[in-house]
Structure 1
């Protein structure tokens, strides 16, 4: 087992991907920051001083305390508190976890839909391609925010805010995932159109393999590079979409912190001088999205032979 692990590690160390990564300081720093933020979010119950979901740990008398170094700050709250008296450090850790969960969950859903529809459209062509691509065109004519606003508003009006809060995470994953699948479907379709004309696909047909096996066992592995690149960028887009919807009041409720809901909860208090309630979660959101986009740009350059210069 050890020998296999070492051989795989050695192959990775000798690959162009690794050499490109170690020479790109921006990519290395971006990955380091991203891993630290993911680890901090996953370990939020262990790292956070308090649990923002536990009302017994929240004291309204501690509301709007400034961060350390400011007049009136409390050492127990290094990043200050929000209007509800919650520790900002704790809410940011838990909120980052929620935002990452929505981002990754939405991309997984849109990847499943996009890969499936892209494979079907590119491999079978004809009427199947025409129908699926027209559906994608219609879907692209509506922005993600528009779809989310309509669905969220209808759901709230039909089932109330209480039930919406209970399933807000899953609803946002569904909305963002369904709204963005055409991006991946078009990418997969273009790759499949190029791959299905190659000799290995003809050989698979001659050997009697069915369409499903050819698509998923032979063509799909050769289309993963563009999917990985666009999927990385889509994670950042999904996190931004969640933040925008939460800011509009159609995302995560303020009682369940996400980066978007934290920014919204402090927006009304900026004029009163409580700038940290919005600014600190906003900075965390910007850094998170920035490092993901930088990693996506690096992957695009490395995996595109026309752009990668070695």
Structure 2
């Protein structure tokens, strides 16, 4: 009976502690953070429920009519009430393609950061905990990769994949390829940050106590050291999501990202850029505004998290 009661009390106590934590206190005190989170949540919900919100399905060829191509927004002369933000060169509704495009961009961003996180945690923990030759080898690999720009690595890997497997195979697995490419290109950011945290943590008494108790290195690293390194990881992850979205947009703009039948924000901007000088500015403008707004909101949240987790500089 006591166990049953305690099992019901613990979640309530945990929720109360969370509501009364400094994190929630500073969040409710900072209007910029609240506004940024509200916008990000709106972007996220719109992307998740795109099939329900979007006026049309840009993947359904039966709903696309070339006679509707390059129609301006509804408030401009010759605008069609069916297409609030106008249409692109294929007759697809811009609003619908933005919603579906944001869904793809966010999917690639979150999954690529998850891959970076896994690689960075494993490499950073191993490098910082074991030290010696392992540390030297792993950090030199990170230094070599950091000597190249992320976009250069992504362009090279995209071109290699396309040349090796062919455009059809690449188009079929474009989302997976972009996740792997962007994820592989950015892992050193995590590895170096986690290594620095591990170097500070491994000298502390709780690590020495765990070693004396006979716990193996894997358990010490992941069960004891890693939880104390989560603050910088959370901050980096927020910023890296924005970077991953921008990387995908840049690759799609260069023609090395998603194919034309899978509209992402970058692919939409690339399509619209070809028509921007002929007067159809809305094809590129609206996806560009959404992309910039999304990245700005994520960066604002990342800056706020960085300040909150660094009490030396956070003043509320």
After TM superposition, the score normalised by the length of structure 2 is 0.96
Cα deviation, 1:210-261, whole Å, max 9, x if unaligned, reads 1000000000000000000011100000000000010000011121100000
1:12 is aligned to 2:15: no
Q: Which residue of 2 aligns with 1:128?
A: 134
**TM-fit CA distance, 1:8:** 2.8
**TM-fit CA distance, 1:146:** 1.0
Cα deviation, 1:49-101, whole Å, max 9, x if unaligned, reads 11111111100100011111100111111111000000111100000000001
Q: Which residue of 2 aligns with 1:46?
A: 52
SS state at 2:284 partner: helix
1:65 is aligned to 2:65: no
Residues 1:248 and 1:13: Cα distance change in structure 2 (over 3 Å):
same
Q: Which residue of 2 aligns with 1:99?
A: 105
Cα deviation, 1:185-215, whole Å, max 9, x if unaligned, reads 0000000000000000000001010100000
- Residues 178-217 of structure 1 aligned to structure 2 (within 5 Å): 178-217=184-223
Q: Which residue of 2 aligns with 1:308?
A: 314
Q: Decide which of 139, 145, 148 is 2:151's aligned counterpart.
A: 145
Structure 1 runs of 4+ off > 6 angstroms?
Answer: none
**TM-fit CA distance, 1:263:** 0.3
Q: Which residue of 2 aligns with 1:32?
A: 38
Q: Which residue of 2 aligns with 1:240?
A: 246
**TM-fit CA distance, 1:5:** 4.4
CA distance in 2, matches of 1:155, 1:22: 46
CA distance in 2, matches of 1:5, 1:188: 30
Query: Unaligned regions of 5+ residues in structure 1, if any?
Result: none
SS state at 1:271 partner: helix
- Over the aligned positions, Cα root-mean-square deviation in angstroms equals 1.1
Q: Which residue of 1 aligns with 2:83?
A: 77
Higher deviation after alignment, 145-154 or 284-293: 145-154
SS state at 2:84 partner: coil
Q: Which residue of 2 aligns with 1:230?
A: 236
**TM-fit CA distance, 1:160:** 2.2
Q: Decide which of 272, 279, 285 is 2:285's aligned counterpart.
A: 279
After TM superposition, the score normalised by the length of structure 1 is 0.98
CA distance in 1, matches of 2:67, 2:8: 56
1:218 is aligned to 2:241: no
